[in-house]
Amino acid sequence: MSSPWTWHGGGLSAARAHFGDGPHPWLDLSTGINPHAWPGASDMAIEWRRLPEEADLRALEEAAAAHFGTDPDHVCALPGTEIGLRLTGGILPGPARYIAPSYRTHGEIFDEATPVARDKLAIAGDATVILANPNNPDGRITERSTLIAMLERQDRAAWLILDEAFADADPAHSMAPYIADDRRMIVFRSFGKFFGLAGLRLGFLLGPRPVIAKMRRKLGAWPVSAATIAIGTAAYRDRGWIDGMRARLFVEAQALDAALANSGHDPIGDCPLFRLIETEDAQALFERLARQAILARPFDYEPRWLRFGLPGSEAGLARLASALRHG
């Protein structure tokens, strides 16, 4: 099955055009974006008449670095991690191996890139490795000890590229604190998923200073907007909201687990922003839910999989649970 909603999450317009609208508003569970967005963005005064100030960009990177647990000198703001990942192919050497299944972009960063299964990580030390942690779409986490061992057995020409787009919900497994000039490792972090503001298009490259300098040259002046800088800086400094949201997401993930289990499915994954199920009738289940204005995420490369983001409310969870049980 290939369709607009299998390429990536968020294909709500295509789903509405195909399935139509019903008596209930659409419930979009196709992404892993936090349904509870950071609330301060709408109240901020943005200076639209001037170009972004260099000092403000550095303040954003300092706030992000404190959140990640690394030095600001190792942090470079990006107009979204998608662009940063694609630019990396011109900065780091290939060939590369990317863990599959995961993000499609990972296979397109280097001209010479081959997929490797997660259980084959032990033989990947002779090439640059691209790995999402937590992984998408299965939400599985690779432990720090495994990643450190990978670094230790890499060839001198190989790098470890970690995509930590979903790491903010639980930073315990992040490798950001291990970034150093003498480690051949870079980490990508995403703002929009945890803070629920994906439209802002903000991400970060964490790496050795020479890599940061090369990325800055590729990005040029003013890589992100004044609004992005202001909102990102304030959100990363909002420790009370961050701590409270982490606790809330774990509670809501447990509730989603219960709803899936009560309908006969075994939820897969450790990332609290989404869960994956495996079922022989995934396509039929996707269409049944879509006809009730509930959009899940199917996968053309694995037709038995269906992924669910957090509903974001008790009413949304009840709608999903009812649709799963009764069709």
Tens-place pLDDT, residues 81-116:
999 999 999 999 888 999 999 998 999 999 989 999
pLDDT band for position 122 (cuts 50, 70, 90): low
Cβ atoms of 239 and 67 within 8 Å: the answer is: no
Residues 281, 178, single domain; the answer is no
**pLDDT in the model for residue 306:** 97
pTM: 0.94
pLDDT digits (tens, 9 = 90+) for 35-49: 999 999 999 999 899
159 lies in the same domain as 127? yes
Pair (113, 225) in one structural domain: yes
Give the structural domain span for 313.
Answer: 4-37+240-326
Residues 55 and 126 in one domain: yes
The whole-chain average pLDDT of the chain stands at 93
Query: Of 102, 27, 120, nearest to 305 (Cα)?
Result: 102
What is the model's pLDDT at position 152?
A: 86
- Based on the fold, state whether residues 188 and 319 are members of the same structural domain: no
Residue 24 confidence (pLDDT): 87
Instruction: Encode pLDDT of 140-175 as tens digits.
Output: 999 999 999 888 887 777 899 999 999 999 999 999
Residue 96 · residue 118 · CB < 8 Å: no
Across the range 25-30, mean pLDDT stands at 96
Which residue has 């397109």 as its token pair?
Answer: 108
Q: Which of 237, 265, 286 is the last residue of a domain?
A: 237
CATH of the domain at 265: 3.90.1150.10
pLDDT band at 243 (very low <50, low <70, confident <90, very high): very high
181 and 270 share one domain: no
Highest mean pLDDT, choosing among 101-110, 122-131, 189-198: 189-198
Same domain, 158 and 285: no
Q: Are residues 204 and 276 in the same domain?
A: no
Tell me the Cα Rg of the chain: 20
Mark whether 58 and 201 lie in a shared domain.
yes
pLDDT value at 123 more than 70: no
The total domain count for the chain is 2
Res 9: pLDDT: 72
Residue identified by tokens 């949201």 is 245
Q: Are 310 and 34 in contact (CB under 8 A)?
A: yes
| Mean pLDDT value across residues 209-235 | 97
Tokens of 129: 């490795």
Q: What is the pLDDT of residue 57?
A: 98
Residues 94 and 124 in one domain: yes
67: its two tokens: 């959140």
Q: What is 245-259 written as a DSSP string?
A: HHHHHHHHHHHHHHH
- Among residues 126, 131, 129, 158, the alpha carbon closest in space to that of 142 is found at 131
Which residues are within 8 A (CB) of 308 and not within 5 positions of it... i.e. 6 or more apart? 29, 256, 260, 274, 275, 276, 277, 296, 297, 320
Q: How confident is the model at residue 126 (pLDDT cuts 50, 70, 90)?
A: confident
Q: Are residues 131 and 199 in the same domain?
A: yes
More confident residue, 127 or 241: 241
Tell me the pairing of strands 185-190 and 160-163: parallel
3-state secondary structure of 113: strand
Residue where a domain terminates, one of 193, 222, 237: 237
pLDDT-based confidence at residue 23 (cuts at 50, 70, 90)? confident
Q: What percent of the chain has pLDDT over 90?
A: 81
The number of C-alpha atoms within 13 Å of 158 and in the hemisphere containing its C-beta is 20
What integer is the mean pLDDT of 267-296? 96
